[in-house]
Amino acid sequence: MLELAGIRVDAISIGGLRTCIQLPGMNLAFDMGCCPPSSVSRRTVLFTHAHTDHMASVVLHCATRDLTGMKPPHYVIPPENAEAFGELFAVWRRLDRSSLPCSIHPVGPRGEFPLSKGLIARPVRAYHRVAAQGYVISQRKKKLKAQWQGKSHTEIRDARLSGVEITDSVESIEVAFTGDSRIEILDKNPEMYKAKLLMMEVTFIDEKVPVERARSQGHIHLDEVIARADRFENEAILFTHLSARYDARRAEEVIQARLPEHLASRVTLLHPPT
């Protein structure tokens, strides 16, 4: 379990093989390309796209929750996948002769999905080989209006009791996740550069796979991150989805050596489980 910018992250992500990134404190997971036992208790799953390494274990997630008496899960999916996703469950219900209860929520860019504790998930368009989306998770909080700051507790309480609106609703961006995408997802959604924790795929890291090939496959190359090094305002950045062709320890050395220090110090490379 990692803790980045004060947020707990329990993640597995290997390019082309499997991705499931859990945020236990928010009771959610991104993608279900594998179904580790801890992920079964995450009631909401935000799916980025339908490649099997991101979605293929969803039926197991649903069935295991049902078997262990947990409430039906919420699956947020790109709207383009809604019909086939529903058919997938219909087929598995026939095969498994079970009800596989779940709520399916097609939500795309410009839509939003409310989470617990005042958190909101908003999909953003991703640029991949199939319909794909990343997510920005914001926290909505109430903040005392400027004119009430510095006033006594009694004054504020009396104003509130007499029906005066003393707070504004403010939002902070807690987490952004790219899913599988070309780097454009960051440039077109610059709020991702400001999230407390940015989780981004960096599938390729050196000249063995050049930038153009990474782009043609709908992925991010480390060179493209370096070219934008000064734009990242995030407290912490997690690199996910490293291609299985790399040795993670070696990749970590390459990443730390190639990134400028002010960025390298905030970057963690997700290692495959040992």
Interface residue list for Zn ion (CB under 5 A):
51, 53, 180
Quick one: which of 273, 259, 227 has its CA closest to 2? Answer: 273
Residue 180 or 252 with smaller CB distance to Zn ion: 180
Q: How far is the CB of 88 from Zn ion (least distance, A)?
A: 17
What is the C-alpha separation between 137 and 124, in angstroms, rounded?
11
Q: How far is the CB of 3 from Zn ion (least distance, A)?
A: 25
What is the C-alpha separation between 31 and 52, in angstroms, rounded?
10
Residue 130 or 144 with smaller CB distance to Zn ion: 130
The continuous run of DSSP H or E covering 256 comes out as helix 248-258
Q: How far is the CB of 212 from Zn ion (least distance, A)?
A: 18
Q: How far is the CB of 52 from Zn ion (least distance, A)?
A: 9
Q: How far is the CB of 158 from Zn ion (least distance, A)?
A: 56
Residue 53 or 174 with smaller CB distance to Zn ion: 53
Q: Are strands 267-269 and 242-243 parallel, antiparallel or unpaired?
A: unpaired
Residue 58 or 63 with smaller CB distance to Zn ion: 58
What would the two tokens of residue 30 be? 């991104």
Name, in order, each residue with C-beta under 8 angstroms of 188's C-beta and a sequence gap of 6 or more: 124, 125
Residue 51 or 266 with smaller CB distance to Zn ion: 51
Q: Are strands 44-46 and 28-30 parallel, antiparallel or unpaired?
A: parallel
